[in-house]
Each structure stands twice: as C-alpha cells, then as structure tokens.
C-alpha cells in the first residue's frame, strides 16, 4: 500500500473515503498509521513512507479532518543506534536524512506525534544475565543511573522511552510528542524465550497500567510529559506463525476467557487483591552496558488497549482497527 499511496494520489482519495469517511465521526478515529516498523520490514517500502504520509494528510485537510485525525508511522527501537546509555541513543545514521528528519518535520508541521513500539521483554530476553527481571517488570529495584546525564531509572520501559526522546533531541525535535503504540509481555514462549510466562506478563501489564494511571506518563528525562500507552494485545493470536511468544501477548484467549486477571481502572485497583510489588518508575535516579536494548522482533502487530494519563479512570478500550492491506499497509486508530 505504501508504494501505491506514494505514487497515486487518486488511490489516497479513495482510501480515505472508504476507510475514514465511511466511519467518521460515528466512529472516533484519532490517527492513521502507515505501516508498522517499516524500517525493519522485508518489503523495502521505507522510501515511499514520507510521500504517502503527505498525501494522506493533504486529503484529510481537504476533508477538514486534519485537526482531529493525525498521521504517523510506528517505529521499533531497532531504528536507534548506540545501545547504552539511553541519553546517547540516536537514529540510525543511514536513515536520518532520507527518512527520520523529513518524518519528524512532517510530524511537527502537522501537529502529529512519533509512534514507538517498546518491548522491554526483548531487551531482557537477550540480556537476562545483565538486566534485572525486577527492572524489566516495574518491580522494586535499586535503579540504574544513566552515565550520560546522571538520571536514575527504575524501569527498563522508562529507559527505552527516554532513548527515543534522546534520539529526537539529537536532531533538535524536542517539541514532538510521543505515543507508545505497542508494548506488552508474552504469557508463553518456547524454551529459549527467557521470561515469557503468565506471571511475568500479568506483572508487567499490571504494573504498567498502575504506573500510567496513578503516576502519570512522566519519565526521568521528560517528567512532565503526558504519555499515552497502548497495550499489545487484546487477544492471543493462535493462528499466527513464528515463535510461540508471538501468539501469546493477549489479555484474553480467542474464546474471550482471561489469560490472567488484572485491573484496568483506578477504581478497580482499590479492590483488586494482588501480592506483587508496587509499580515503580518515573523517578529521577551507573549501569552496565546493555546490548540489544529494545529490538522488536515483530512487524505485523495490531494494538487494541490504551492506558492514558488523560483518561484517568477510563477502562482500557479497543480503539484500533486493522484494515485489509499489504504488510506495509495503513491502519486507523
């Protein structure tokens, strides 16, 4: 879809009419995402990304929808280089001028935001001899100090988010907001997929929700930021190919039974009985080098649930609909 959208404005007109105009405003649509981790896909569609995003935005302007609906493209943390410390992270040099700088200029000019897929699980799995599981799961720990700026981190999630903020800052785009479009933890994995378990998945998602809903979205580098986070995923994907973990990110089984029980609202947290340690993170707090920090192994996920600092006591809700398209296609959120 990206290549077609970048070459044929008429295709974009028809796409917006079919997938946005036909549903809006009855269905609340917040964003259109182009591709998913395009920079690591196997279809070499990166060169089409920016032009396709521009055409979509132009069509939204014509329909007077550009203020309500933003256009972006989710990135994996593998699009960053320099694994440690997070304050030294930057976008891969070969992608800066052809992709990231023009994309960030587009996001700034249209009032949109950078979408990031952040998976502490993959960093922990690849470095379990170095990274504490408590640090990866938002559990109580002594923290890790960034040797570049002296900030102390109490969660790997915060470290990964600030790495993306640091990469934008390196290009002088400090004013662009960020949305975590995907994060989660697998409840089951193959023998070599260290850390994938029901207990760890429940702990990660529970503590993440508590951290966002009760502590706000601030990170050590950006303490005042209002971070919106989408959980991956609502359901397990039993028919999906690949490693076992790829089929087991869901909060529910396909038959709608819960994989594990966690609260999704502030009110629910008051009555939920839980023996896990309280969530940490968001605080100002030297660490051993961490390699493979945040490399994402999936390029075809759909996101369903959101915990937002603005939606203080709302239930996490399904907001994203995956559209029929090629593997580098578009989605509405």
User: Which positions are annotated as active-site residues?
Assistant: 37, 182
Structure tokens at 3: 């290549």
């Amino acid at each position: 879809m990206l290549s077609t959208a970048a070459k044929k404005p008429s295709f974009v007109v028809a796409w917006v009419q079919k997938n946005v105009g036909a549903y809006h405003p009855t269905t609340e649509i917040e964003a259109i995402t182009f591709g998913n981790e395009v920079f690591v896909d196997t279809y070499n569609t990166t060169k089409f990304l920016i032009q396709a995003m521009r055409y979509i935005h132009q069509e939204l302007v014509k329909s007077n929808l550009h203020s309500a609906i933003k256009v972006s493209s989710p990135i994996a943390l593998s699009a960053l280089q320099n694994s440690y410390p997070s304050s030294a992270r930057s976008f891969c040099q070969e992608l800066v001028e052809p992709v990231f700088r023009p994309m960030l200029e587009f996001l700034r000019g249209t009032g949109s935001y950078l979408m990031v897929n952040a998976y502490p699980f993959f960093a922990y799995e690849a470095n379990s001899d170095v990274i504490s599981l408590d640090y990866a799961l938002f559990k109580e720990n002594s923290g890790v100090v960034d040797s570049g700026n002296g900030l102390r981190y109490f969660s790997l999630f915060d470290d990964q988010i600030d790495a993306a903020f640091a990469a934008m800052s390196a290009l002088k785009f400090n004013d662009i907001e960020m949305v975590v479009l995907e994060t989660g933890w697998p409840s089951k994995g193959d023998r070599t997929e260290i850390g994938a378990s029901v207990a760890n998945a429940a702990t990660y998602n529970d503590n993440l929700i508590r951290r966002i809903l009760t502590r706000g979205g601030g990170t050590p580098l950006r303490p005042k930021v209002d971070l919106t986070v989408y959980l991956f995923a609502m359901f397990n994907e039993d028919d999906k190919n690949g490693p076992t973990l790829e089929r087991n990110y869901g909060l529910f089984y396909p038959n709608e039974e819960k994989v594990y029980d966690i609260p999704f609202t502030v009110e629910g947290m008051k009555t939920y009985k839980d023996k896990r340690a309280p969530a940490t993170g968001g605080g100002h707090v030297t660490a051993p080098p961490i390699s493979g920090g945040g490399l994402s192994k999936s390029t075809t996920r759909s996101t369903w649930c959101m915990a937002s600092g603005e939606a203080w006591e709302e239930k996490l809700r399904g907001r994203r609909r995956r559209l029929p398209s090629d593997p580098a296609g578009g989605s509405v959120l």
